[in-house]
Amino acid sequence: MSGRNASDELRVLCGPGPLFLQPLWDGLRAREALLQSPFFPAVFSIGTYLGCCLPFVLLDALCPWVPALRRYKIHPDFAPSARQLLPCLAQTLYQHAVFVFPVTLLDWARGPAPVPPEAPELLQLARHVGCCLLLFDAEFFAWHVLHHRVPWLYRTFHKVHHQNAASFALATQYMSVWELFSLGFFHLLNVTLLECHPLTVLVFHVLNIWLSVEDHSGYDFPWSTHRLVPFGCYGGVEHHDLHHSQFNCNFAPYFTHWDKLLGTFRSPHAK
């Protein structure tokens, strides 16, 4: 009887109704003025990014004092210096202030987007976030291959991202404005095509930023995403680090199927 009750509760929470996510969405809707602010998209974007980077920045600072942390670093003898960290941070802040904020301000000037009263269903949110990640992975794979195979595109737009041979968290968004806006365009395109709920958009943004920072962090923990996703479907930090060191492989940001299908996959264990 208790098992049937638990099953019924799970069906209610994850099924046709939005009950599971409704309290969270109601809390956000109570701050609708903040969500509709012209400053919110840029502040949320930069806040999410820096929040995802901060744990790895602190780990890098602790590494000299806590040698046990080095076993999780894919480059144990590398630690980013202030001369590497500060330009990355400065460029990210500059691009968000000078380029991202004016674009979001123009979008805000068109009028506020409707805020639905109901939260999305939990399974619908998960389904849309998964689809957005798969679409983003395919779009950036195509963009990435093109910007490596065409020398002018690489020199003009993508080379800046490869200036740090050993990646670290704050180097994730060390990129040209064109690359930053390309990623933003893919993000916006996918949530628009799928008609995602605003809460789904926020969740996808946070997850997308986290996965990208994790791939550049230089740390491979037992709980890293690629160790949680089965069958080698997800690349992870070593997979992406190999791209930064060899340039001609592992172009997909997250999953491995496009590189495997098109012959650009290289296993970090076969270096």
pLDDT tens, position by position, 158-204: 999 999 888 899 999 999 999 999 999 999 999 999 999 999 999 99
Question: Does residue 11 fall inside a structural domain?
Answer: no
Question: Does residue 2 fall inside a structural domain?
Answer: no
Question: Does residue 270 fall inside a structural domain?
Answer: no
Counting the structural domains of the chain, the total is 1
Question: Does residue 211 fall inside a structural domain?
Answer: yes
Question: Does residue 242 fall inside a structural domain?
Answer: yes
pLDDT for the residue numbered 166:
87
The domain of 158 spans 20-262
Q: How far apart are CA 87 and CA 73, in angstroms?
A: 22
Question: Does residue 6 fall inside a structural domain?
Answer: no
159, 173, 247, 250 from 148: Cα distances, Å:
9, 18, 8, 12
Residues 6+ apart with CB under 8 A from 234: 225, 226, 254, 255, 256
Q: Distance from CA of residue 242 to its chain's centroid?
A: 19
Question: Whole-angstrom distance between the N-terminal and C-terminal Cα of the chain?
Answer: 55
The string of pLDDT tens digits covering residues 114-153 is 889 999 999 999 999 999 999 999 999 999 999 999 999 9
Judged by DSSP in three states, 262 sits in coil
pLDDT for the residue numbered 175:
97
Question: Does residue 199 fall inside a structural domain?
Answer: yes
Judged by DSSP in three states, 96 sits in helix
pLDDT for the residue numbered 5:
54
| Segments of the chain assigned E as strands | none
Partnered with residue 109 across adjacent β-strands are none
Q: How far apart are CA 28 and CA 24, in angstroms?
A: 6
Question: Does residue 109 fall inside a structural domain?
Answer: yes
pLDDT above 50 (res 1): no
pLDDT for the residue numbered 108:
87
Please check whether residue 36 is in contact with residue 112, taking contact to mean a CB–CB distance below 8 angstroms.
yes
